[in-house]
Chains A and B, each alone.
Chain A
Amino acid sequence: MAVTPETIDQLRSVTDEKYKYGFVTDIDADVAPKGLSEDIVRFISAKKEEPEWLLDWRLKAYRAWLEMEAPEWAKLNIAPIDYQDAYYYSAPKIGDGPKSLDEVDPKLLETYEKLGIPLKEQEWLAGVAVDAVFDSVSVATTYKARLEQEGIIFCSISEAVKNHPDLVKKYIGSVVPYTDNYFATLNSAVFTDGSFVYIPKGVRSPMELSTYFRINAQNTGQFERTLIIAEEGSYVSYLEGCTAPQRDENQLHAAVVELVALDDAEIKYSTVQNWYPGDENGVGGIYNFVTKRAACRGRNSKVSWTQVETGSAITWKYPSCILQGDNSVGEFYSVAITNNRQQADTGTKMIHLGRNTSSTIISKGISAGRADNTYRGLVRIQPKAEGARNYTQCDSLLIGDKCGAHTVPYIESRNPSAKVEHEATTARISEDQLFYCRQRGISQEEAVSLIVNGFCREVMQHLPMEFAVEAQKLVGISLEGSVG
């Protein structure tokens, strides 16, 4: 049964809602000259008052980057990026740094309020500490005191470089080396901020740690670097979410996230990504090239990635786990929604090195409009991974006949005692289910949202409460204007 033209028209008329988070705050940014060179790398390092070793590391990365070529294997159609036509550093003018919210630029606070992040209310809201990043520089951190009691370090990476240089030096680049890939190498050269988390031995973080990222100044690429270390027997849940103002130029974003989990430690990393996806015709939108990788270094360590990807014009992102410690566990739960002209090529890599390591991959791709959505994943069982186990399920849902959904799993098994299972399905949104909802008075748009949320349920249930509600709404918003 095909969708009738009437329903399509009806749906369109109701659903041409604009990007809700599209606005630009005019802030006098402290900006580095346009372009990329060794001088810019030195400028950034100097601005950040970094030690010599870090500058050297950046420069090595920059020189390596010059020799590299942008990867072309993803199923993405990317207009050539002029890396000289972007700014690599911008910071809101904040003087010597605010000690309380009162010192924060009121314009910034206003921005957060529009985004629905009531920063002023954070301290008594939801028990969530927020390290809010506005264009590369942390401007406010709350709940520090409570975390300090537990010995937890939660700050911007720049602060960590100043205050905990030994920890940073020990771990930065240890999971994602500066030569890893084109975008990670670029990030290593020019990263400006991001979060640093250190959970000491045996400590369970008393609250979920959360960072909201914002991209603001025109033409500023964002190059966050996040590093989370969970010592023996510790636990942390980290939340990352982002929105961006509407603009017409493509914006480059190349972040690196490194997670290290030691013996019996667990890190839960959740992301809701709803950056500006570009308009119906594919104009504008963020280019999102992210390298996220976790090292499960100890026995019984566990890392769980959960992501809801609804934004960006281009998403290139493969949160991965290196399961090195015996009995370590890696999980990847993903919902990727593409609409209009969005393109997403996302998935994971699970590298099994240790004995009895196990991994679970649940991926739900939803494609609408003229979008392309690709799951690309690798499960590799190395010869020593005795008794390793992987289960993968990738489901794709198509909404409309002009979009594409693709599944590209790579499975490499070199140990006979390992058990690897992969399943994938692709189908369209069920007309029967839509009709059932419509017949009960639910609008077409709500029905699509309801059905898609049901399709994604296995992933959504892994999101922390704070995100779950927002994410469900996002699913609806992202599919607005799609053909039901």
Chain B
Amino acid sequence: MAKEMIKDLSLAAGFEEAAPRLPGSDVAWLDALRAQGIAAFRSNGLPTRRVEAWRYTNLNALAKAGFAPVRGDAELDAVPDGAALALGDACRIVLVNGRLRHDLSSLDQLPDGIAAVGLAELLRRSPADLEDLIAPAPEGRDGVLAALNDAFMEDGLVLQIEAGVSVDTPIHLVSIGVPVAGQAVAFHPRNLIVAGAGSRSTLVESHIGLGEGSYFSNGLTDVTVGKGATLTHAKLQDEGAAAFHVALVRARIADEAVYDSFVLHRGGELARHETHASIEGSGAECRLNGAYLGTGRQHIDNTTVIDHMAPGSQSSEVFKGVLAGHARGVFQGRIVVHRDAQQTNGHQLNKTLLLSRDAEMDTKPELEIYADDVKCSHGATVGELSEMELFYLRTRGIDEATARDMLVSAFLSEAVSELRDETLVSAFAERIAGWVEARHEDRTEKAA
């Protein structure tokens, strides 16, 4: 089935050379995992669009870019102001090209009951503690990028929230991509998030890029939300304009637990945020929301799979996006209700505005249902701004460009308002406003 495989395997090229340098290289189980990962990548290659899960996202450019594992630390003395989300005095953990940087982080501000350690450090210090937490990539062609992460994982955040702890201030993970001159760097951060039973906490990720040039961030985050726990997990993807960003989040949700996630895509040349949520306990709730802003030749992919495996659980999804220029958006959302998951409620909504002639949206909301006592629905719309609404604003003396911006902002605010925390709502709204303004200026310049 060679048609399903991109033949260029250069992403794997540096493995043999890099392996001895990677943390935990003397740990047998990790060696085996890495070997298995690289073997899976080499036999499957990157998926072509013939692989259903990648039907709308073409990885040829990623395969051909010649990305190689990052070497040495990037030079960065400080995180520029305003680069990451504005979250006040939140505890900050900074990864630069996938590596934890203590000098840039504020781990001393960690709230009580929360432990945050770098994966590399933990792999060197007590790898045995991680054996059960690091799960291998899914088998087959769907899991190829995760397999690559298995092979190359080097650092990342290991976050443990003690049972019963309740913290309002978010933990802020800032991932910075710094292109290296003459080198297309790739990094494969691996994050492990464990929210103890009954805990309540918030993790926010800011993915940003500094400077010109390309890099590839291939992240994998495993999240466990314990019984009765609530974890809010928000993410800003605002990578550099030439960056490739692929992220997989695997979330396991226990009884009565709530996993509340949000992702805003703004940057990157090609970005895919993929969430696989398994609702393993009854009475649990899973919320996957997001917004995407595309322009130029950006490609933005949101893929979600929610597995309802226990009775009486709920899931909801709202993804809204705006595409301008030649941007292309993808939404693939699947809700699977397994045999035993009676009394499931699942709702999914995807709405996209196309602002230009050359923008494209491909959406595939999918329901797969094996239990009868369920209520599931999905909806999807693709269209342009309403002429009626524009007219209404114009009659009130608002010029067309401003009226369009107002309607776009209003459209997106619905998705952002899915966030239940005011600080987060305003932090993300600010990013959206910035995008709308930048577009506005861009257009006025062109018109002038």
Contacts and interface: CB of A to CB of B under 8 A. Distances in A.
Interface string A393-427: 00010111111111111111111111111111111
Interface in B329-376: 339, 342, 352, 354-376
Contact of A398 (B52, B352, B366, B374): B374
Contact of A414 (B52, B360, B374, B380): B360
Contact of A416 (B356, B371, B373): B356
A420 B357 contact: no
A415 B365 CA distance: 20
A476 interface: no
**Band of interface residues on A:** 35 or more
B142 to A, nearest CB: 14
Nearest to B365: A409
Contacts, number: 112
Given A413-B354, A413-B361, A416-B357, A399 B382 contact: no
Interface in B115-139: none
Contacts of A400: 372
Contacts of A413: 352, 354, 360-362, 382
A424 to B, nearest CB: 5
Interface in A157-192: none
A420 B382 contact: yes
Nearest to B342: A401
Nearest to A390: B382
A424 B376 CA distance: 8
B377 A425 contact: yes
B378 interface: yes
A18 interface: no
Nearest to A419: B383
B423 interface: no
A67 to B, nearest CB: 13
Nearest to A404: B370
Nearest to A429: B372
B371 A401 contact: yes
Contacts of A404: 368-370
A396 B369 contact: yes
B344 to A, nearest CB: 10
B437 interface: no
B73 interface: no
Contacts of A409: 364-366, 380
Contacts of A402: 339
Contacts of A428: 372-374
A416 B374 contact: no
A149 B346 CA distance: 58
A403 B364 contact: no
A200 interface: no
A383 interface: yes
Nearest to A408: B366
Nearest to A398: B372
Contacts of B371: 398, 401
A420 B379 contact: no
A124 interface: no
Nearest to A411: B363
A53 interface: no
A401 B365 CA distance: 23
Contact of A422 (B52, B355, B362, B365): B365
Interface centre among B364, B367, B374, B384 (most CB of A within 10 A): B367
Given A401-B339, A420-B381, A424-B378, A412 B360 contact: yes
A396 B375 CA distance: 10
B380 A407 contact: no
A73 B354 CA distance: 30
Contacts of B342: 401
A418 B382 contact: yes
Given A411-B362, A427-B375, A420 B356 contact: no
Given A411-B363, A416-B355, A401 B379 contact: no
Contacts of B374: 398, 426-428
25 contacts: A399-B372, A401-B371, A401-B372, A405-B367, A407-B365, A407-B366, A408-B366, A409-B365, A409-B366, A409-B380, A411-B362, A411-B363, A411-B382, A413-B382, A416-B355, A416-B356, A418-B382, A418-B383, A419-B382, A419-B383, A420-B381, A422-B378, A427-B375, A427-B376, A428-B374
Interface of B: 52, 339, 342, 352, 354-384
Given A426-B375, A428-B374, 17 more contacts: A398-B369, A406-B367, A406-B368, A409-B380, A410-B362, A410-B363, A412-B361, A413-B362, A413-B382, A415-B354, A418-B383, A420-B381, A421-B380, A423-B379, A424-B379, A427-B376, A428-B372
